[in-house]
Structure 1
Amino acid sequence: MRVLVTTSAVNSHLNNLVPTAWALRTAGHEVCVASQPDLTEAIKNSGLPAVAVGEPMAKPRGIDESSGTPFGLGFDIAETRPEKLTLDYVRGTLDTYTSMVGEYMADQSMLDDLVRFARAWKPDLVLWDAHNYAGPVLARVIGAAHVRILPAPDHWARMHARYLDLAAEQTSPPSADDDPMAAYLGAKLARYDREYDEEVVVGQATLDPLPSWVGFPLDIDYRAVRHVPYHGPTVVPPWLRRKPKRPRVCLTLGQTRRALGVQGSAGGEEVSITDVLEGVAALDVEVIATLRADQLPPNTVVPDNVRLFDFLPLNPLLPTCSAVVHYGGMGSVGAAVVHGVPQLGIPGDMWGEGDVMARLEGRGAGLVGRGDTLVEQLRRLIEDPSFLEGAAQVQKEMLATPSPRDMVPELEALTARHRESRIG
């Protein structure tokens, strides 16, 4: 069968899709990956055919985290407090995120180009990044089966399910036109004479490579799949093959923050990169920091025990580390889980990173960084064997999850059923 994989031009989102795309390719299926032109080189470097669609995504831009809400939007799609999740708040969140974040990740030019390409190439299955809603619209337009894959906790579906529940409780239920997801996706479908339904929001199935303790109890066809760390072309430097003389700590901001232009402060704690570097200087550790020069504030003093690299893939680095310090992105969390490394999270404020790290702390596999206690927390993470035991347990659970290769027969069967239903 032919499989069209689609994502936005964010490397970490592509990296999340590559293992499943290659599993399909090595099973004999024809696979190509479509995204904005600024991701073309990264797709080519993955060894998969690239299709450039739409206009380049906006250049990296500073995101104002001082407003108390992600991206300065006034709403947080990761909000979970029941008292906060009123009908007005949920509706406002979905309306804002679809028009701002959803359209930023996949605008109309991308969708139009995708449809033109797909009508010529005729894919049987569309595998789409769950933050890129051009994928399911495209699949509905051309009549293909479609499956999404989660790059982060499923807040789109959770928030929309909350909206539907709240709307149903009203004495005078809102009309379908009041549903922001239905309005946003319905307008895109209407351009191609197609109609909206809930399947466009959640796919015909959802591949979930996140740890089981990150999920939500939603009535969705989730299919757990093992997270396989992929970070692009990798050359393992000679020094990385030698055992470190003292505990090694990885410090990373993650690729999504880079792609969206997020600088070095994190969430409500407002912990800066400078704070972190000053803190680790007091410890007898070797720190490998994957930071570009433009991610460091002017006149930053880099301690003697810190080595800076523009980029160093986590997959070969983490097995040599005693701990990893990061901002709660799922690429970093997933890689650390796979390699059984205790984690110190200084949660960012983009997609519920604080909740993810709190859940990891609850599993005994890491800690949520808390401002001026960072040094002692990192020391504890390295010296207390219980964290290594907790990390080993979550690692064991992840490695027992079906691999992307195990998912291929399920995707084949789903596509066959869809084809039969259309013929029938």
Structure 2
Amino acid sequence: MRVLVTTSAVNSHLYNLVPTAWALRAAGHEVCVATQPNLVEETKRTGLTAVAVGEELPTARGNLDTSDTPYGLGVDITETDPATLTLPYVREVFRAYTSVVCEYMAGDSMLSDLVDFARVWRPDLVLWDAHNYAAPVMARAADLPHVRIIPAPDHWARMRAIFLDLVRDDPAAAADDPLADYLGGKLARYGREFDEEMVVGRATLEPIPTCLRVRADVDYRPVRHVPYSGPSVIPAWLRRKPKRRRVCLTLGQTRRALGPAGSDDSGAAGLLSAIADLDVEVIATLNASQIPPGTPIPDNVRLFDYVPLNALLPTCAAVVHLGGMGTVNAAVVHGVPQVGMPGNIWGEAGIMREMAARGAALVAEPGTLVAQLARVLDEPSFTDAATQLRKEMLATPSPRDIVPDVEEIAGVRAKGEGDGRR
């Protein structure tokens, strides 16, 4: 069969899709990744076929965080406080996130090109990154089954479930539905109508730890996270045992791709200064744009523009990061305790609270980083808990294991393998 994979031009979102895309390719299926032009070269480096759709995704400017809500929207799709989650608040979440975030990640130019390409290439299935809502519209326009894959906890489905519960017995309230209006408006161009499958796909693949999974009325298919972070070479020094306990410091792929680290104490300068007096070797994966000019580099810190986390983390006693899912997943896969200084993009604070609740992490602020990191390094319970999370992740079906599920959703197993043409 032919599988059309879609993602917006953000490296970490592409990397989350690669293991499943390659599992499908290895099973004999043809795979093509549709993305904006500025991710085409990176897609080609994964070994997968790429097609450019839409206009380039512009780079975000300024600090991605605000003191209250992500992107300055005034509402937060990751909000969990029941007192805050009133119908007006939830409705505004969908109004703000569709008009701003969805349109930024995958606007009309991408949708139009996706539909045109699908009509020519004629895929049997669409596999889409959960933040790219042009994909389910395209799938419905082309009458294709579609499967979603989440890059982080599924707050879209969680918040949607809250909205549907709030309006369940009030038809008038249900009629004011910004998400249905947004997707329905795009579908109307192709003579199609909105339904709830447009929000969550026919099924949803979950390559995240069990403790971060959301309870919603969705056909979730857990899948093991397989770390991938692009083409890389394992340096010779990484093959030697460190003389001191090694700590990885990273600000993550998404922050590197979408904007600067910021000028506050959660940025690189504050982090490097905070850990200068610890008896550890710090490997800081930071590029030049993430280190303010004139930043002093402590003697126990080694700076690298890039080191593959999949190779670095097995040598580390702990990892310090901002709560992004790529780093969290990699740390879980390798059983490494974590210290999080959460950002404010997609519920990082909640992610780190869950990791801490499982005993595998601690949450820190600039003033408590040294003490929290010392605890994680010195108290064996954190390593024990991280090891348990690793066992749970490794017991989850691999991308290869879920290929039959994807084939069944596409109808391949029922009708027999075809050539992908209709």
What's 1:162 paired with? 162
Cα distance in 1 for partners of 2:72, 2:261 equals 14
Q: Which amino acid aligns with 1:247?
A: R
What's 2:47 paired with? 47
Structure 1 residues not aligned, in runs of 5+: none
What's 2:369 paired with? 374
What's 1:174 paired with? 173
Query: Is 2:237 the partner of 1:242?
Result: no
Q: For residues 291-330 of structure 1, what are the alpha-carbon distances to aligned partners after superposition, in whole Å with 9 as ceiling and x for unaligned?
A: 1111123321111111111221100110111100011111
What's 1:4 paired with? 4
When residues 66 and 130 of structure 1 are mapped into structure 2, their CA distance, relative to the original with a 3 A threshold, is closer
Q: Do 2:64 and 2:344's aligned partners in 1 also have CA atoms closer than 8 Å?
A: no
Cα distance in 1 for partners of 2:197, 2:328 equals 29
- Give every structure 1 segment of 4 or more consecutive aligned residues whose post-TM-superposition deviation is greater than 6 Å: 417-420
What's 2:85 paired with? 85
Q: Which amino acid aligns with 2:390?
A: Q
- Aligned with residue 277 of structure 1, among 272, 278, 282: 272
Cα distance in 2 for partners of 1:228, 1:243 equals 24
What's 2:212 paired with? 214
When residues 143 and 66 of structure 1 are mapped into structure 2, their CA distance, relative to the original with a 3 A threshold, is closer
What's 1:350 paired with? 345
Q: Do 1:36 and 1:55's aligned partners in 2 also have CA atoms closer than 8 Å?
A: yes
Q: Which amino acid aligns with 2:155?
A: H
TM-score (norm 1): 0.95
The alignment partner of 1:9 has SS state of coil
Cα distance in 2 for partners of 1:216, 1:38 equals 32
Work out the percentage of aligned pairs sharing the same amino acid: 64
Q: Which amino acid aligns with 1:41?
A: E
Q: Which amino acid aligns with 1:161?
A: A
The alignment partner of 1:95 has SS state of helix
Q: Do 2:274 and 2:366's aligned partners in 1 also have CA atoms closer than 8 Å?
A: no
Q: For residues 316-362 of structure 1, what are the alpha-carbon distances to aligned partners after superposition, in whole Å with 9 as ceiling and x for unaligned?
A: 11011110001111100000000000000110000001011001001
The alignment partner of 2:400 has SS state of helix
Q: Do 2:36 and 2:57's aligned partners in 1 also have CA atoms closer than 8 Å?
A: yes
After TM superposition, give the deviation of residue 262 of structure 1 in Å: 4.4
What's 1:100 paired with? 100
What's 2:420 paired with? none
What's 1:360 paired with? 355
Q: Do 1:70 and 1:349's aligned partners in 2 also have CA atoms closer than 8 Å?
A: yes
Cα distance in 1 for partners of 2:33, 2:158 equals 27
Cα distance in 2 for partners of 1:348, 1:418 equals 43
Cα distance in 1 for partners of 2:172, 2:340 equals 41
After TM superposition, give the deviation of residue 260 of structure 1 in Å: 1.6
Cα distance in 1 for partners of 2:24, 2:413 equals 18
Size of the aligned set, in residue pairs, is 415
What's 1:22 paired with? 22
Q: Do 1:63 and 1:72's aligned partners in 2 also have CA atoms closer than 8 Å?
A: no
Aligned runs of 1:177-188 on 2, under 5 Å? Answer: 178-188=176-186
Q: Which amino acid aligns with 2:246?
A: R
- Aligned with residue 294 of structure 2, among 299, 313, 318: 299
After TM superposition, give the deviation of residue 65 of structure 1 in Å: 2.4
Cα distance in 1 for partners of 2:116, 2:16 equals 25
Q: Which amino acid aligns with 2:51?
A: V
The alignment partner of 1:404 has SS state of coil
Q: Do 2:408 and 2:414's aligned partners in 1 also have CA atoms closer than 8 Å?
A: no
What's 1:409 paired with? 404
The alignment partner of 1:5 has SS state of strand
Q: Which amino acid aligns with 1:395?
A: R
When residues 64 and 340 of structure 1 are mapped into structure 2, their CA distance, relative to the original with a 3 A threshold, is closer
After TM superposition, give the deviation of residue 175 of structure 1 in Å: 4.5
When residues 175 and 395 of structure 1 are mapped into structure 2, their CA distance, relative to the original with a 3 A threshold, is closer
TM-score (norm 2): 0.96
Cα distance in 1 for partners of 2:241, 2:38 equals 38
The alignment partner of 1:174 has SS state of helix
